[in-house]
Amino acid sequence: VAAARGGGGVAWLGAAAIAACVLACGDDRAVDVPAGGALTVFDRSSNAFSLPAPGLAGTDFDRHVQGDAAFDQTFVTGDAPVGGGLGPLFNNTSCVACHNRDGRGLAAISPDRASSVALVRVSLPDGEPGAPGGPVPLPEVGTQLQDHAVFGQQPEARIELTWALLDGAYADGEPFQLRLPGLDVELAGGAPLPPGTMTSLRQPPAVFGLGLLEAIPDDALLAAADPDDADGDGISGRVNQVWDGLAQQTRIGRFGAKANTASVREQVAGAYFHDMGITTPLVPGDDGAAPDLPGDDVEATAFYVATLGVPARLALSPEAARGELLFEQMGCASCHTPVQYSGDHELALLRDQTFAPYTDLLLHDMGDALADGRPDFEADGREWRTPPLWGLGLVQTVLPGAGYLHDGRARTPAEAILWHGGEADAAAEHFRTASAAERAALLAFLAAL
């Protein structure tokens, strides 16, 4: 894929940037934006994504602890004394089993496993959408394949994941290998997917920092959007407009690889329902039965993820500091917006923060190689939401073997960069054609996040 890239010169802004910085800084005093504003925590262990935000106190702290327990709860079948209500169809049996230590999950999916960590979204090109403007579900299946089931029940699909290797090379001749996921899906009873079915693989994302992302005002996202590339910089950026089932209205999407969910609460309640088969008052299911889980527990889980701390980045080595300049110069920061500002939010803790998620939360055309061909609300089959990069340097500490990008295909941040195409093609090409020292500097910067 990336080996086919053409040449291209880096716009060297270095000298001007340094001059401007000296003027701006004025003296030697250190300046930094804490990764999570007031929610910033200082931990570089495997526990770094699992800490409560500083400043949580009293009933808020108790609420966070309640949500922590709910996040860890393993669900089982039926009316068991503890944790009943699982399934009958599911992908996994607890929140934490997929979001390891509140971070990512492995791209693991197989009928031979007790449960799957990755999942496959499905939809049809035409028909009646499941929600206004949303994807068209497969009859009897929906928009997500549950590939496991409680004892005695058939899962709705058997999914095998295979990897194909692709060879490429940096401009200086150093070879690299990328891996491309392939899905082999069989519905229950051995039937193939209906003709035209669109599929898309997802690796679980980290869940910390979601409250801050929710608190970025709509206006700020709309102001940053440039759907027609009016400024001619080659980067468009669109907001997704999605159906919010809780609010029963169309809102700006922020969460999910295609920004197809508007709020943390809806994301959490949807995950209980789709990933674990747990009904809640928020997403009750359609059989009229009593919910499997009280609304209070769902709300506590949503509170928990919204109030997790965000790990501070490391102080930058000289090499990493050079990498930060390259991050700007190569064009990475055009979409991975370093600094965001929160506005109002029902949780006081999240209001008026300056923080550094490295995302614009907008949809961008990422090119053919990453395209899944499966639209999700207004996101088309080539568009993905810019994921935040905070905590990137802790990914292998928290979960050894964790992948990068929406489906975990990239095994390293370097591979993830090389997959970038479409609007990010020029930036990725800057990286591929950079010297080994410059590439190492950029990666050192990312490792400090």
Partner 1 sequence: LLKESCMKPLPSLAPLSISLVATCLGLAAAACGGDSGDGDDGFAEPAVVEDFADQVVVPTYELLAERTALLDVAVEALAEEPTPVGLTAAQDAWVAMREPWEQSESFLFGPVDAEGWDPAMDSWPLNTNDLEAVLESDDELTQAYVAALPETQKGFHAVEFLLWGEDGAKTSDEITPRELEYLGALTDELVSVTDQLATSWTEAYQGGASYRERFATAGADGNTAYPSLEAAVQEILVGMSGICDEVANGKIAGPFDARDPNLVESQYNFNSLIDFADNIRGVRNAYTGSMPLAGTEGASVSAYVAARDPELDEHVRAHIDEAIAAIGAIPSPFRDAILDEANDDVIIAAQEAIRHLQETIDGELTTLVLGS
- Binding to partner 1 in span 330-389, by CB under 8 A: 333, 337-339, 341, 354
| 11, 12, 17, 133: residue in contact with partner 1 (rule CB under 8 A) | 17
What is the rounded distance in angstroms from the CA atom of residue 279 to the CA atom of residue 285? 6
For residues 293 and 83, give the distance between their C-alpha atoms in angstroms, rounded to a whole number: 9
Q: Which is nearer to partner 1, 44 or 63 (CB)?
A: 44
Q: Please report how close the Cβ of residue 26 comes to partner 1 at its closest, in angstroms.
A: 11
Nearest-angstrom CA–CA distance, 215 and 228: 26
Residue closer to partner 1 by CB (options 247, 339) is 339
Q: Give the residue with the Cβ less far from partner 1, 74 or 250.
A: 74
Of residues 99 through 158, those in contact with partner 1 by CB under 8 A are: 100-101, 106, 111-115, 117, 148, 150-152
Total site size for partner 1, rule CB under 8 A: 82
Cα dihedral 247, 249, 254, 260 in deg (nearest 10): 110
Interface with partner 1 (CB under 8 A), residue from 393, 403, 408, 422: 393
Q: Residues 403, 107: contact at Cβ < 8 Å?
A: yes
- Cα(390)–Cα(359) distance, rounded to whole angstroms? 9
Site string for partner 1, 243-282 (x = CB under 8 A): ----------------------------------------
Name 175's bridge partners. 169
217 binds partner 1 (CB under 8 A): no
For partner 1, the closer of residues 331 and 375 by Cβ is 331
- In the numeric block, the tokens 């090379």 are attached to 169
Backbone angles phi, psi at 297, to 5 degrees: -70, -40
Work out how close the CB of 377 gets to partner 1 at its nearest, in angstroms, rounded to a whole number: 26
| Of residues 3 and 76, the one with the C-beta less far from partner 1 | 76
Number of H helices, E strands in the chain: 12, 15
Write each residue from 297 to 336 as x if it is in contact with partner 1 (CB under 8 A), else as -, in one continuous string. Answer: ---------------x-xxxxx-xxxxxx-xx----x---
Name the minimum Å distance from CB 69 to partner 1: 8
397 forms part of the interface with partner 1 (CB under 8 A): yes
CB of 14 to partner 1, least distance (A): 9
213 CB-near residues (< 8 Å, 6+ apart) = 254, 255, 340, 357, 359, 361, 388
Each residue 58-87 as x (binds partner 1 by CB under 8 A) or -, in order, gives -------x---x----x-xxx-xxxx----
Q: What length does the chain have?
A: 449
Q: Which stretch binds partner 1 (CB under 8 A): 45-53, 180-188, 204-212, 253-261?
A: 45-53
Q: Name residues contacting partner 1, limited to 279-298 (CB under 8 A).
A: none
Identify the residue whose tokens are 């709309």: 222
Q: How far is the C-alpha of 442 from the C-alpha of 319, rounded, in Å? A: 8
Residues 6+ apart with CB under 8 A from 223: none
- Which one, of 351, 335, 332, 331, lies nearest residue 343 by Cα? 351
Residue 271 CA to residue 429 CA, distance in Å, equals: 37
Considering only residues 160 through 179, tell me which ones interact with partner 1, judged by CB under 8 A: none
Is 225 an interacting residue with respect to partner 1 (CB under 8 A)?
Answer: no
Considering the rule CB under 8 A, would residue 37 count as an interface residue with partner 1?
yes
